[in-house]
Amino acid sequence: MLLAATDRGGQRVVGCCEAASAQGVHPGMTMAHARAVLKDIAVHVEVHDPAADASALQRLARWMLRFAPVVSVDLPDGLLLDLSGCERLFNGVGCHVDAILAALNRLLLPARLAAGPTVGCAWAMARYGAARSILVRSREHIATALSPLPVEALRIDAACVKSLADVEIRRVGELLCVPRGELTARFGRGLLMRIDQALGNVEEDIEPITPSRPLAVSRVFEGPVKRIEVIEQCVHLLLSGLLAEAERRDCGVRGLEVELRRVDVPPVQVTLSLSYPTRSGEHLWRLLRPRVERLHLGYGVEEVYLRATAAQRLRAVQSSLGSDWLLLESGESAGDESAGAETLGVLIDQLVERMGRDAVTRAAPVESHLPESAFVCFAAVDADDSHGRRGSPRSDPRGRRRKGGSAAEDAALSGAGSTRRRRSQPDRQARGLADENRLLSMTSADRPSRLYESPEPARVISLLPDGPPVWLEWSGMRGAVQSGRGPERIASPWWQGSGRSRDYYEVQDESGRWLWVYRERETGQWYVQGEWG
Amino acid sequence: MLVEKIRDIEAKFADFVATADACGRERTDRLTTTGWSRIDAMLGGGLPDSGLHEWFGVAAASSAPTSQAPGGGSRRDAVRGRWMPPVCIVVHLAWRAMDRCVTPRWAVWIGRRTFPYPRAMVRGDMRLLDRSIFVAPRDRDARLWAADLALRSPATALVIADGSEFNMAATRRLHLAARREHKWLLLIRPPWECGELSAAHSRWLVRWPGMESVSADESSSSCRRINPRWIVELLRCKGVQPERERPTWMLEWHRGKGVVDLSAPLAGAAGEAAHVEATTDRTDGSSFAGREGGRRSA
């Protein structure tokens, strides 16, 4: 059996069974080549579907909870089980591993298992060990067990493997003989961290999954219902029930889906995405009702299904005695800050509901010298509390999730599979930098108050080839430049390949308006990019 | 029966109601300083911390401002619709409003024209940028609805909106909402709409200084101005009677601090008195600095 994927216009093997592997087929090989190798063997080819694989792995992980209380998915093809404390139930670790292997065999899953004192050790032995089932009993044996394995067993990237191969280090044992200081200097801290994780010198977390029931309610009618008033009433009642269930689970709804299952036609859905978790039925119904009213009932609705697509734990709010009665000098009550988080969410949700998700945004700085990419806009609905948003105090100034903390609970509450979420690097980039770095990342140079969506070409006369402009024609305006400042040179990042640089000038035209113009050094073309208004 | 119950409740809370009324009156009368001393002096201490304030932007012009068109722009520019909102000034006022709040609240910017380049909102800290929401409605009605909604939200400290094509009814509705919620609504409008009827508490016209404000001494290379400047003209302010009609001031952007301040008068080349007689395009001879003292009517 071969798993095939289309890559660069051709089909390539991304996985194969043991029989094919024994014949010399390996991932990365073209399908034509693989078929040629397996010319005398009947080949079954399946299209590789990574999403389906991940989903199946997720289901298998949930099934494996019968063997260990903590199970984690190690994409793309692994599972991590924390067996600590379970050995008595299975008469020792060896029997435990055998029981898991037997269970997987019954499912016709030819898995490779390894048990070890550390995640890194077990990972390496399972993938690169000689046997299908390996047990490393204590930390003292880790180095010995890992020594004959290739350095890839330490979960290091291909570049690092290549660098090690350049100095003839191909086995873990050879690597462990090299002084640690030299490793850091030559190959970076990442390699040392992986070694320490494998040997147990550094703790390593795994991200466990937690099964949970979805937060959903439904109602089935005795016959098709064609009256929208009945549907509205039903949705309203279901919403109350859903919020009661959410209260029982101590969480709030952040995403909602209403599905009307109709007779003889496909179901129709309404989805809501909220900017904050809430259990306010009034707020949700205000957003939901106009959408439900517009739904087409077809030949009648048989069932109404209401589901929370996202749920989060509600922020604890300190109640204050009589705060509403005590007016501070500023005219604001003491409870305003905590109430502000919810009232802001209500405002954003209402704005988004009418104008769309992309019409309500916020801005955050990102690390870039180029003025047009120094800030990024993101939907206000997606904003989280990591930068002290919503007027609520932060528990962690760096905006990180604490271990096994609220993010885990949030995902579990909504019925999602994985409980610990780590924000990816591009996501973090899009949301802006950490608080302590944001001000430092910004240039101290003056910038205009308005930046045009795209720089507008201008014609300029300069007295010197690289000098400041003395005459400017742009957007129907022409005249002498009265005064100016500059240049300020801004270069685009060379590692991104463009390698262009600009010389910026601040110039004042005859009307007294200050414009921000620049000359592209490579082309000599002038542009107006902004102004002080 | 019900009437008696209501009277009992009123009697029970008579002291509190009296106190709350006093606070309410006090809040109504509170002023927020603009940070521009001479303007604050003329306004009697600052702008009321609630209500609608209109700022008319600058029409794009290819020449120095003329007196024919508001804002110094030509009619051709007005027809073309290209104008520049006074973003620096509005950002400065937004900072004043945010500083006024004890508990952190939010600024809502409605309409793409009002959106500043985010860097202009950073002044040593990022409070204003972190607490700003940018809303881009499609049309006039959506802008009006969004401004009204934002004003009524307890989470907001002030609202800055593009007020193009707002009529008297719209401005009255917004002004009343702003008064009731004790918030500033800064409405940015194109300069050619300054003749339209409006319920705004105050109306300000902004224009570029042109070269007529630069004296011979000042235009010499040694003391040439290097900061962006604007002429601000008070068209109307309820309850304020300036000594002269439509007083004007010169505001200046301080590049280092990122703030807008009153432009400091320059000394002449021979060291004579401060240069306060900067000429304007106005024919009544009013100057940019000094002598604008007014009184606030009771």
Span A495-524, pLDDT tens digits: 666 668 889 998 888 888 889 999 988 888
Q: What pLDDT digit, counting tens, does each position of A264-312 carry?
A: 999 999 999 888 888 999 999 999 999 999 999 999 999 999 999 988 8
Tell me which residue of B260, B252, B215 sits closest to B231, measured CA to CA.
Answer: B252
Mean confidence (pLDDT) of chain A: 81
Give me the half-sphere count of Cα atoms (radius 13 Å) on the Cβ side of residue A284. Answer: 30
| Nearest by CB: A332 against B102, B124, B255 | B102
Mean pLDDT, range A140-162, rounded to an integer: 91
Tell me which residue of B291, B257, B258, B281 sits closest to B63, measured CA to CA.
Answer: B281
Contact A532 B88 (CB under 8 A): yes
Residue B153, both tokens: 């939200």
The mean-pLDDT minimum among A317-331, A416-430, A432-446, B134-148 falls in A416-430
Residues of A in contact with B78 (CB under 8 A): none
Tell me which residue of A431, A426, A474, A480 sits closest to A452, measured CA to CA.
Answer: A474
Where is pLDDT greater, at B187 or B48?
B187
DSSP A358: G
Rg (CA), chain A: 31
Q: What pLDDT digit, counting tens, does each position of A294-306 carry?
A: 999 999 999 999 9
At B266 the pLDDT is: 56
Where is pLDDT greater, at A247 or B265?
A247
- Best interface-test mutation with B: which of A328, A351, A360 has the largest number of B CBs within 10 A? A351
User: Residues A28, A13: contact at Cβ < 8 Å?
Assistant: yes
pLDDT over threshold 90, residue B54: yes
Q: What pLDDT digit, counting tens, does each position of A135-144 carry?
A: 888 888 999 9
Q: What angle do CA A377, A378, A383 make, to 5 degrees?
A: 135
Find the residue in A nearest to B19 (Cα). Answer: A327
User: Residues A239, A275: contact at Cβ < 8 Å?
Assistant: no
Q: What pLDDT digit, counting tens, does each position of A386-405 carry?
A: 444 443 333 333 333 333 33
pLDDT over threshold 70, residue A179: yes
Phi, psi of B70 (to 5 degrees): -60, 145
At A436 the pLDDT is: 53
Mean pLDDT, range B253-257, rounded to an integer: 80
> Cβ contacts of residue B119 below 8 Å, gap of 6+?
A371, A374, A375, A442, A447
pLDDT over threshold 60, residue A526: yes
Cis peptide before A426 (omega within 30 of 0): no
Mean pLDDT, range A451-463, rounded to an integer: 89
At B278 the pLDDT is: 39
Strand order in the sheet with A526-532: A477-480, A469-474, A450-462, A526-532, A514-520, A501-508, A483-491
At B220 the pLDDT is: 44
Residue A473, both tokens: 């024609």
CB pairs under 8 A between A and B: 178
% of residues, chain A, pLDDT over 70? 83
The mean-pLDDT minimum among A71-80, A232-241, A417-426 falls in A417-426
Burial of B138 (0-12, 13-18, 19+ CB in 10 A): exposed
Mean pLDDT, range A110-127, rounded to an integer: 92
Considering A340-349, A376-385, B23-32, B128-137, the range whose residues carry the highest mean pLDDT is: B128-137
Give me the half-sphere count of Cα atoms (radius 13 Å) on the Cβ side of residue B277. Answer: 6
pLDDT range class, residue A441, cuts 50, 70, 90: low
Tell me which residue of B118, B255, B99 sits closest to A442, measured CA to CA.
Answer: B118
- Best interface-test mutation with A: which of B31, B117, B280 has the largest number of A CBs within 10 A? B117
Q: What pLDDT digit, counting tens, does each position of A192-206 carry?
A: 999 999 999 988 888
Chain B contact present for A475, CB below 8 A: yes
Where is pLDDT greater, at B138 or B280?
B138
At A208 the pLDDT is: 87
User: Residues B28, B43: contact at Cβ < 8 Å?
Assistant: no
User: Residues B258, B128: contact at Cβ < 8 Å?
Assistant: no
% of residues, chain B, pLDDT over 90? 34
Q: In Å, how far are A429, A492, A493 from A497, measured between CA atoms?
A: 20, 9, 7
Tell me which residue of A311, A480, A281 sits closest to A407, measured CA to CA.
Answer: A311
Distance, C-alpha A172 to centroid of its chain: 33
- Best interface-test mutation with B: which of A317, A347, A444 has the largest number of B CBs within 10 A? A347
At A318 the pLDDT is: 65
DSSP A250: T
pLDDT range class, residue A147, cuts 50, 70, 90: very high
| Model ipTM over 0.90 | no
Rg (CA), chain B: 21
The whole-angstrom separation of Cα A12 and Cα A16 is 11
Mean pLDDT, range A144-163, rounded to an integer: 91
DSSP A6: E
Residues of A in contact with B116 (CB under 8 A): 449-450
Find the residue in B nearest to A446 (Cα). Answer: B255
At A321 the pLDDT is: 59
Tell me which residue of A88, A83, A94, A66 sits closest to A117, measured CA to CA.
Answer: A83
Mean pLDDT, range B241-258, rounded to an integer: 82
Q: In Å, how far are A309, A349, B225 from A272, measured between CA atoms?
A: 9, 9, 54
Q: Which residues pair with B186 in a beta bridge?
A: B53, B160
- Best interface-test mutation with A: which of B27, B87, B103, B144 has the largest number of A CBs within 10 A? B103
% of residues, chain A, pLDDT over 90? 32
The mean-pLDDT minimum among A257-261, A304-308, A312-316 falls in A312-316
User: Residues A362, A383: contact at Cβ < 8 Å?
Assistant: yes
DSSP A315: P
State whether the Cα torsion A274-A277-A281-A282 is positive or negative. Answer: negative
Q: What pLDDT digit, counting tens, does each position of B81-113 carry?
A: 678 899 999 999 999 888 888 778 899 999 999
Element at B176 (helix H, strand E): helix B168-181
| Nearest by CB: A363 against B57, B129, B253 | B129
pLDDT over threshold 90, residue B159: yes
pLDDT over threshold 70, residue B268: no
DSSP secondary structure string for all residues of A26-93: -TT-BHHHHHHHTTTS---EEE--HHHHHHHHHHHHHHGGGT-SEEEEETTTEEEEE-TT-GGGGTSH
The whole-angstrom separation of Cα A494 and Cα A226 is 63
pLDDT over threshold 50, residue B20: no
Element at A194 (helix H, strand E): helix A189-199
Residue linked to tokens 């259990």: A279
Tell me the CA end-to-end span of chain B in Å, nearest whole number.
43
| Nearest by CB: A442 against B100, B122, B155 | B122
At B289 the pLDDT is: 38
Q: What angle do CA A406, A410, A416 make, to 5 degrees?
A: 140
Chain B contact present for A361, CB below 8 A: yes
At B225 the pLDDT is: 59
At A234 the pLDDT is: 95
Considering A89-93, B7-11, B131-135, B277-281, the range whose residues carry the highest mean pLDDT is: B131-135
User: Residues A222, A148: contact at Cβ < 8 Å?
Assistant: no
Element at A217 (helix H, strand E): strand A216-225
Three-state SS at B173? helix
DSSP A386: T
pLDDT over threshold 80, residue A247: yes
Residues of B in contact with A477 (CB under 8 A): 60-62
Where is pLDDT greater, at B98 or A446?
B98
pLDDT over threshold 50, residue A79: yes
Q: In Å, how far are B186, B264, B277 from B250, measured between CA atoms?
A: 20, 9, 12
Instruction: Name the pairing type of β-strands B248-254 and B259-262.
Output: antiparallel
Phi, psi of A325 (to 5 degrees): -95, -20
| Nearest by CB: B150 against A337, A347, A477 | A347
Indicate the pTM of the whole model.
0.66
The whole-angstrom separation of Cα B64 and Cα B74 is 10
pLDDT range class, residue A15, cuts 50, 70, 90: confident
**Max CA distance (Å), chain A:** 91
User: From the CA of B200, how many Å to the nearest CA of chain A?
Assistant: 22
Phi, psi of A261 (to 5 degrees): -90, 115
Residue linked to tokens 């990419």: A373
| Nearest by CB: B117 against A351, A448, A485 | A448
Contact A325 B16 (CB under 8 A): yes
Contact A360 B106 (CB under 8 A): no
Mean pLDDT, range A362-366, rounded to an integer: 88
Mean pLDDT, range A403-419, rounded to an integer: 39
Contact B137 A359 (CB under 8 A): yes
Mean pLDDT, range A80-94, rounded to an integer: 89
Phi, psi of B198 (to 5 degrees): -155, 150
Where is pLDDT greater, at A492 or A425?
A492
